[in-house]
């Protein structure tokens, strides 16, 4: 299978050098080739499973429970300024 590794890497926001892309392409092809085994299975009329158990979603009451603790939560941030996260300029 031909996989456009560069395109997938771009969607994943992972930089790949040409050499890395050349290495990864056959690996991904062989993985996807193995996965193609699935096409042998007859799944006509079989519903998909997204969750292991057939249970409904629990919900929470609309009550404010979170204290403001911005400083602690921003402690792991690479760069902040006056309580704002700072990133290279976003183009619109």
Site string for other proteins, 72-91 (x = CB under 8 A): xxxxxxxx-xxxxxxxxxxx
Closest CA to 82 of 66, 71, 69, 68: 71
CB of 18 to other proteins, least distance (A): 13
Distance CA 54, CA 59 (A): 16
Residue 8 tokens, joined: 């997938």
Contact 16, 24 (CB under 8 A): yes
Q: According to the binding rule CB under 8 A, does residue 41 interact with other proteins?
A: yes
> Which residues would be at the binding site for other proteins (CB under 8 A)?
3, 5, 8-16, 24, 27-28, 30-32, 34-41, 43, 46-53, 55-66, 68-70, 72-79, 81-92
């Amino acid at each position: 299978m031909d996989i456009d590794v560069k395109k997938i890497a771009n969607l994943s926001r992972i930089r790949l050098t040409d050499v890395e892309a050349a290495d990864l392409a056959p690996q991904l092809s062989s993985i996807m080739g193995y996965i193609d085994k699935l096409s042998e299975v007859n799944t006509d009329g079989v519903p998909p499973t997204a969750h292991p158990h057939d249970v409904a979603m629990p919900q929470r009451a609309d009550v404010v429970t979170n204290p403001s603790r911005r400083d602690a939560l921003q402690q792991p941030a690479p760069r902040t300024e006056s309580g704002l996260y700072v990133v290279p300029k976003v183009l619109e």
